[in-house]
């Protein structure tokens, strides 16, 4: 898969290009962006992840896509739909929506705009029955986005993330939000900030 996945009034959600590598490293090494992750990535680690994500998108059509400003195609972060591999907490085939945005672009509604468009893509074009999202329980920025885009918390599915090292116990507990295709169809569209 290549090119644009979806467009919104302000954004283009698309596959990654080589010129996006600097931005990808910026968001994966910024201590504030990565506050709820146990480590930051070096440039080589970031490039390795970048290549893996782009390969997954090309092979499966799912993954964490680049989010760029529609006016000039400048990348500002990522948002995507990805298949999880968190058995037994989430069954194989579960699709999550996730995001990460460079700090200069926080607070403008970009994540909600991109995520809403990708929910539509997943349910309407992808035929998905459910999409989930999860975050560290104290990550109120992310859970606020989940609520804003119409996802609902499901405390019965909260879990301790198996890949968080013992050195970071405050990052272990994750809360899960979910939306079904029926809930998507019945939603009230969110207002887009301009």
pLDDT of residue 194: 46
pLDDT interval class at 1 (50, 70, 90) = very low
Mean pLDDT on 93-108: 96
pLDDT interval class at 82 (50, 70, 90) = very high
Q: Using CA atoms, how far apart are residues 69 and 52, in angstroms rounded to an integer?
A: 23
The yes-or-no verdict on residue 193 having pLDDT over 60 is no
For residue range 133-150, what is the model confidence (pLDDT) as tens digits?
Answer: 999 999 999 999 999 999
Q: Which residue has the higher pLDDT, 84 or 193?
A: 84
Domains within the chain, CATH numbers bracketed: 4-185 (3.40.630.30)
Residue of 128, 181, 134, 129 whose CA lies nearest to 153: 134
pLDDT of residue 179: 98
Q: Where are the beta strands (DSSP E) in the chain?
A: 4-7, 11-14, 63-69, 75-83, 95-101, 130-136, 152-153, 159-160, 173-180
Cβ(34)–Cβ(101) below 8 Å: no
Least confident among 18-27, 100-109, 156-165, 180-189: 180-189
pLDDT interval class at 3 (50, 70, 90) = confident
How many CB atoms lie under 10 A from the CB of residue 104? 9
Q: Using CA atoms, how far apart are residues 184 and 119, in angstroms rounded to an integer?
A: 8
CA 45 to chain CA mean position, Å: 19
pLDDT of residue 38: 87
Mean pLDDT on 97-105: 97
Percentage of residues in the chain with pLDDT exceeding 90? 90
Mean pLDDT, the chain, as a whole number? 93
Tokens found for residue 74: 């400048």
pLDDT interval class at 19 (50, 70, 90) = very high
* β-bridge mates for residue 159, sequence order: 174
Q: Using CA atoms, how far apart are residues 75 and 13, in angstroms rounded to an integer?
A: 9
Mean pLDDT on 3-26: 96
pLDDT of residue 192: 58
pLDDT of residue 39: 86
The yes-or-no verdict on residue 78 having pLDDT over 60 is yes
Coil/strand/helix, residue 147: helix
């Amino acid at each position: 898969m290549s090119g644009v996945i979806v467009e919104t009034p302000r954004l283009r959600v698309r596959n990654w290009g080589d010129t996006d590598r600097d931005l990808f490293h910026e968001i994966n090494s910024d201590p504030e962006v990565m506050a709820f992750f146990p480590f930051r990535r070096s440039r080589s680690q970031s490039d390795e992840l970048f290549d893996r994500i782009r390969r997954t998108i090309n092979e499966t059509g799912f993954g964490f896509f680049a989010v760029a400003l529609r006016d000039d195609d400048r990348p500002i972060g990522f948002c995507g739909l990805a298949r999880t591999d968190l058995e037994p907490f989430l069954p194989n085939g579960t699709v999550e929506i996730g995001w990460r945005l460079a700090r200069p672009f926080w607070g403008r509604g970009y994540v909600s705009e991109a995520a809403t468009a990708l929910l539509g893509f997943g349910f309407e074009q992808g035929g998905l029955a459910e999409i989930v999202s999860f975050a560290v329980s104290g990550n109120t920025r992310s859970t606020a986005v989940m609520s804003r885009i119409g996802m609902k918390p499901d405390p019965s599915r909260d879990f301790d993330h198996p890949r968080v090292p013992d050195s970071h116990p405050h990052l272990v507990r994750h809360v899960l939000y979910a939306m079904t295709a029926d809930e998507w169809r019945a939603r009230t569209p969110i207002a887009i900030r301009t």
